[in-house]
Amino acid sequence: MHKTTRRLKAIFASVVLLVFVSGATSLLAQTPNDFDAERDRAVRLVNAGNYKEAIPLLEKLSADKQADGQIFLGLGLSYWRIQDTVKKDRAAWKETRLKARRAWLKAKDLGVSIPDIDLIIASIKDDGGDKGESDNLLAQSSFDEALQPFVSRDYKTAVAAYEKAATLDPKWYEAALYTGNTYYAMKDYDKAAIWFAKAIAIDPNRETAYRYWADGLAVSGKEKEAVDKYLDAVVAEPYSSAAWRGLSQYGQRKGIKLAHPKIDIPVDVSTSENGNTNITLGIGGKDDDGSSAWMMYGISRAVWKAGKDGKLSEQFSKAYPNEKVYRHSLAEEMDALHMVLTGVKSGSKDVKKTSPSLVTLKKLNDEGLLESYVLFARADAGIQQDYPAYRQNNRDKLKHYLTEYVMKNGGN
């Protein structure tokens, strides 16, 4: 379970460099309209690792009205890669990291998003610090001192150092987490639980403390409580494979196959090169089973995807007034699915036996769990952006869906 934040940061830096360089031709490809020599030069500088030289040029390009998300992607990467050169000046180090975050967030606003970089953005504090480290130098020093004894399995010495760090900086998630983790290694599961609870109080939207706590409960024979914490881990970070690990392992031990409800949506909605939205409907059921209502799914999504002259649609702009680039969203998906249900209802006289997919869709909607299904089972990169806001007020619904459907083989 043990992992140092500095090692994690180094891994992040290496991953980002590989992503950027290996995808250089697509990430920073030259545009056909007036981003000529300077943009091309910026590409070469970044891909050659000349970040300090690239920054002034990228800053100039980013101020141009033609600047796209890829320019901001390169600018953020350049700031991120030079941060250690100014680390002796704590204020300058933090500001450099904030510049990287601002550039990457701008890139996301313009439609460029890379999962590894999203992880880095999430790791940067609002003041530019590292969420994995403490601004309290004494706390950080004590935390660092704990590593070697932990590796050597001198857990008594390690836990004293971790606990000291957590006491010196009571808002530091990692210190509370690693204190709990060390008590877990000592098989003192009750004390471990106390510290995992403290970590969760600091940040309830990180999965690790829930999962570690659940492991301790499982070892202690408290199966019901363990499952509850495994579910909490998934709700905290459903798009992290680590969050599902504990629940999956529990399912394997109990012979439970985790599964989402089976809903076949026989519609493909795509955008052609000329900007037109194409709807392809492949009805797999009978004419009298309500399947024709799926056409409404495609029509609804087409209305969300495009407005006149390539502008954002009225629906998207109204739902997300602060966003300037279209994305597939929870609001769009829910609107499309509700249109399908409306279509089934309006044509109910002609439906002899509703298809299984439509029956399940209606059941989820009636139970108030359709959003949970979409967020867990149908979330692409666009829909995932809506998860934090939904989770804030709907944790119980999300857990209920996981319990009643995913842990019951889809609930069918």
- Residue 288, pLDDT score: 64
* Confidence at residue 85, expressed as pLDDT on a 0 to 100 scale: 93
Tell me the average pLDDT across 366-391. Answer: 96
pLDDT at 132 over 80: yes
pLDDT at 262 exceeding the cut of 50? yes
Residue 399 pLDDT greater than 50, yes or no = yes
What's residue 409's pLDDT?
79
Banded model confidence at residue 111, pLDDT cuts 50, 70, 90:
confident
3-state secondary structure the chain: CCCCHHHHHHHHHHHHHHHHHHCHHHHCCCCCCCCCHHHHHHHHHHHCCCHHHHHHHHHHHHCCCCCCHHHHHHHHHHHHHHHHHHCCCHHHHHHHHHHHHHHHHHHHHCCCCCHHHHHHHHHECCCCCECCCCCCHHHHHHHHHHHHHHHCCCHHHHHHHHHHHHHHCCCCHHHHHHHHHHHHHCCCHHHHHHHHHHHHHHCCCCCHHHHHHHHHHHHCCCHHHHHHHHHHHHHHCCCCHHHHHHHHHHHHHHCCCCCCCCCCCCEEEEECCCCCEEEEECCCCCCCCCHHHHHHHHHHHHHHHCCHHHCCCHHHHHHCCCCCCCCCCHHHHHHHHHHHHHHHHHCHHHCCCCCHHHHHHHHHHHCCCHHHHHHHHCCCHHHHCCHHHHHHHHHHHHHHHHHHCHHHHHHC
**Which tops the pLDDT comparison, 387 or 6?**
387
pLDDT in tens, 316-342: 999 999 888 889 999 999 999 999 999
Q: What average pLDDT does the structure give for the chain?
A: 86
Percent of the chain's residues with pLDDT above 70: 83
In this prediction, residue 287 carries a pLDDT of: 57
The residue among 236 and 290 whose pLDDT is bigger is 236
pLDDT of residue 24: 38
**Domain spans of the chain?**
5-123, 137-254, 267-411
Q: Output the pLDDT for position 281.
A: 65
Split at pLDDT 50, 70, 90, the class of 274 is low
Confidence check: pLDDT of 248 > 50: yes
- Tens-place pLDDT, residues 165-196: 999 999 999 999 999 999 999 999 999 999 99
Question: What CATH number is given for 137-254 in this structure?
Answer: 1.25.40.10
Give the mean pLDDT of 49-69: 92
Lowest mean pLDDT among 18-32, 315-329, 389-403: 18-32
